[in-house]
Amino acid sequence: MLKRTCLSVLLLCLAFVSFAQKTGTIKGFVYERATGEPMIFVNVLLEGTTVGVQTDVNGYFSIQAPEGTHTLFTTIIGYDTAKTTVTIKAGDIVTKKLFVGTRQNELKGVEISARKTEKVTQINAGVTTITPREMKLLPSAGGEPDVAQFLQVVPGVVFTGDQGGQLYIRGGSPTQTGILLDGVTIYNPFHSIGLYSVFETDAIRNVDVYSAGFNAQYGNRTSAIVDIRTKDGNKNRLAGKISVSPIMARAMLEGPLKKPKTEGGSGITFMLSAKHSYLDQTSKSIYGGAFGQPFESGLPYGFTDLYGKITFSGENGSKLNLFGFNFDDKAKIFKPNTDSSRGDFSWKARGGGATFVVTPGSSSALISGRFAISRYDISLFDPNYLPSAGSTGGGRTRSSSIDGFESGIEFTYFLPKYSQLKYGIEVSDQHTALTYFTEVGTPTELNRRNTLGALYLMYRKNFGEKLVFEPSFRLQYYAASSDISPEPRLGLKYNISNNVRLKFATGMYAQNIISTKSDRDIVNFFTGFILSPDERIYDTKGKMATSNLQRAYHALGGIEVDIQDVELNLEPWYKNFNQNVELSRIKYLASDPNFTSGFGKAYGVDFSAKYNKNRWYLWGVVSYQKIEYTTTVLEKNIVTLNDNGSLGGKTLSQAFPPPFDRRMNSNMLVAYTAGKNKDWELSARFNYGSPFPFTQTQGFYEQLNPTQGATTNTVATQNGSIGLLYSTTINGGRLSHYHRMDLSARKKFSLSETSNIEATFSVSNIYNRDNIFYVDRTENTRVYQLPIFPSINVTWNF
């Protein structure tokens, strides 16, 4: 079976690349003239023909052209048209570089054509592309624009809160969503103050969010992908920014280490970014007296993010990037309305590596690759936990780490009529370590290592102007468990007209990374990781699982409608998580299994509307979803003594909504550019979310720990801590509704042609809504999200 599949894939590759006989190839790159940065998604066409392609994330294009002399030209919104004459012979490969500058006068006909091209030639099912400009249009908490805040308004995304918040995309948990920075995995991209990510906004080239049905280019995740690409650095001059606010200070610097001698020549550039939050120091002193809790006790969040990149660019457009990062986050968890600590929390991520792009002179292919090493560590210390028998001191620490390398090489061919062939190979090695405590406080340590190999193939064919057909296939091999995972995927688009388009995507997915989060509470700072176990695991019916991988199936449909300048998009979706591997809820002894296998399903529909013309930008999203997981639990939470002296009890399967099952979610964003010189930006955002589920508290008991074993006189020596009895129904309750409005105003003051100052005033939660953060179970106290939160930010761009 496997041999036949591999042979079919090989024959398919040979058939696709052998179609061109009496044509030549025009390939090259499109750059922005002012900075030398590659220009993505630019239409590159042959004048007088229908032959054309779009540049990729590297600004690269490759066109199969008939023999003769042609005029090559570009179209993209907001930029002038670059033109050049090319003479081509059969079998020739000609390289061209095109440079585009900002256009003052809009060419309406070209604008409309350029905007339509991607919509009718790309499937884009479940895909949202975000640019830095769009991030800055959103009212930003503290006046600091960040991708974490814009992701909250993307269709299908649920955000769990201002503090400790995480993003859940169309039914999947954070570990089921892959976050990539230039193709390299970032395991925890969001800080404890959930409004900010580790990424510098002005260093980002673009962000693609694949919320369902993504093709075989991406793997080892069962729900979604967020692919972030960074800039290379200004090739022509030293540039940067410095920004300060009551929340953080940021700085970015970019420029040439070796300037090109001619336009488009070889050179070396660099880019450095740093941001540091001092919110733990400023929140109490600046906001405490005027705004009350939680500022009176201080917001105990701090972080530091460092990122650096050096790019070596060649004459023909090939390049090598060397990069490194160090992200650090610290927080304290306090008892409500007190300075008494309930836990110390921290995580750290660091790594480095290289990416490259090569365009061989003798081939029309674009070859790209990457190699990186990284490590992520997280720990949470609970000072209030009593020691167990035979141990000394109080408190306990949960910790987790993941480290290893990842590498890959990819070949891309740009074919006529916007078609494309892409294939690649990936190899990675990961090691995870986890220390945690079971339901009855039994300490457990787990260590796992795995090498993963993957092959993938994607082919996109445009049949005329009506049909886009994109089959893809991924084959993954997990060495530790000897699992082979074949994953076919398919995307379709049918253009009823240029203004009405139908789309569909489906696929099979697998991963070996397991979350360590508890689903008893929506708020859980501890985001640990563990690889799939090498031990036997059992499903909800007591049967042994045939594979220890997590698996899922996606199906996604949609319709796109353009009514003049309004873009409408409707997408119903379905995900079947036919195997969810999780830490066991019924482990009471060290000899009990560490893992169980459950399953889940999620479905919903997202509707979005977008208007972007002249000075106005409007974006609205309304989403409905329902998520249900099934797992193994103890009947009535009763632990019994078995005949052999072990602890156990009768088990059964229970279906429940996970803590991120927000049924309704809506976002409205309005932005207006004002002033004669367009130097004012005014924006407002409103968000509504229906209540999250949570597991209710059933009662309390005195928890005693026999530190000297069975001979301990607990009556004489201990005052027990408060133990919690949870409801037998997982997540049977619901918190309150969430809604909030944010406003911001930004003014730009020009200092010179290349320098300006931006001043931003923003107010988050303008009407001071008490949105619930969580309920402190032992204190029976509600803890709320951020109250009204004004801030001023000043940024110098140069």
Distances (CA, A) of 355 to 320, 347, 351, 452: 6, 26, 13, 19
The better pLDDT of the pair 121, 295 is held by 121
Per-residue model confidence (pLDDT) at position 705 = 58
Residue 288 has pLDDT above 80, yes or no: no
Strands (E) located in 13-131: 23-32, 43-46, 52-54, 60-66, 68-75, 83-88, 93-100, 127-130
The strand order across the sheet containing 224-230 reads 127-130, 204-210, 224-230, 177-181, 184-185
- Summarised one tens digit per residue, pLDDT across range 759-770 is 999 999 999 999
Distances (CA, A) of 714 to 390, 395, 443, 703, 723: 14, 18, 21, 10, 15
Residue 371 has pLDDT above 60, yes or no: yes
| pLDDT confidence band for 6 (50 / 70 / 90) | low
1-10, 51-60, 424-433, 628-637: which is most confident? 424-433
Q: How crowded is the C-beta side of 354, counted as CA atoms within 13 Å?
A: 7
| Cα Rg, the chain, nearest whole Å | 27
| pLDDT confidence band for 280 (50 / 70 / 90) | confident
Q: What percent of the chain has pLDDT over 90?
A: 47
Q: Which residues, in sequence order, are bridge partners of residue 706?
A: none
The better pLDDT of the pair 625, 721 is held by 625
- Summarised one tens digit per residue, pLDDT across range 248-265 is 999 999 999 999 988 888
Per-residue model confidence (pLDDT) at position 720 = 61
Residue 4 has pLDDT above 80, yes or no: no
| pLDDT confidence band for 620 (50 / 70 / 90) | very high
In angstroms, rounded to a whole number, what is the distance separating the alpha carbons of residues 626 and 321? 42
| pLDDT confidence band for 108 (50 / 70 / 90) | very low
The better pLDDT of the pair 682, 110 is held by 682
Per-residue model confidence (pLDDT) at position 144 = 78
Report the mean per-residue pLDDT for the chain. 84
- Summarised one tens digit per residue, pLDDT across range 685-704 is 999 999 999 888 888 777 66
32-41, 363-372, 470-479, 512-521: which is most confident? 470-479
Per-residue model confidence (pLDDT) at position 716 = 53
In angstroms, rounded to a whole number, what is the distance separating the alpha carbons of residues 615 and 673? 5
Per-residue model confidence (pLDDT) at position 437 = 76
Q: What is the mean pLDDT of residues 708-737?
A: 70
In angstroms, rounded to a whole number, what is the distance separating the alpha carbons of residues 75 and 106? 11
Distances (CA, A) of 121 to 16, 42, 118, 587: 18, 13, 5, 52
**Residues with Cβ within 8 Å of residue 614, at least 6 apart in sequence:** none
Per-residue model confidence (pLDDT) at position 392 = 45
Burial class (CB in 10 A: 0-12, 13-18, 19+), 8: exposed
Residue 664 has pLDDT above 90, yes or no: yes
Residue 72 has pLDDT above 60, yes or no: yes
Alpha helices in 670-790 (DSSP H): 714-717
Dihedral sign of CA atoms 676, 677, 679, 683 in order: positive
Residue 391 has pLDDT above 60, yes or no: no
Residue 710 has pLDDT above 50, yes or no: no
Q: What is the mean pLDDT of residues 551-567?
A: 95
Per-residue model confidence (pLDDT) at position 795 = 94
Query: What angle is formed at CA 655 by the lines to CA 642 and CA 688, rounded to 5 degrees?
Result: 140
Lowest mean pLDDT among 114-128, 227-241, 701-715: 701-715
Structure tokens at 649: 């009890």
**Residues with Cβ within 8 Å of residue 235, at least 6 apart in sequence:** 35, 36, 37, 256, 259, 260, 267, 269, 313
Residue 19 has pLDDT above 60, yes or no: no
Per-residue model confidence (pLDDT) at position 464 = 83
Dihedral sign of CA atoms 676, 678, 679, 685 in order: positive
| pLDDT confidence band for 168 (50 / 70 / 90) | very high
Q: How crowded is the C-beta side of 343, counted as CA atoms within 13 Å?
A: 15
Residue 546 has pLDDT above 70, yes or no: yes
Element containing residue 2 per DSSP (H, E)? helix 2-17
Q: What is the mean pLDDT of residues 708-733?
A: 66
Residue 291 has pLDDT above 80, yes or no: no
382 in Cβ contact with 366 (< 8 Å) = no
Lowest mean pLDDT among 173-182, 292-301, 419-428: 292-301
Per-residue model confidence (pLDDT) at position 411 = 95
| pLDDT confidence band for 297 (50 / 70 / 90) | low
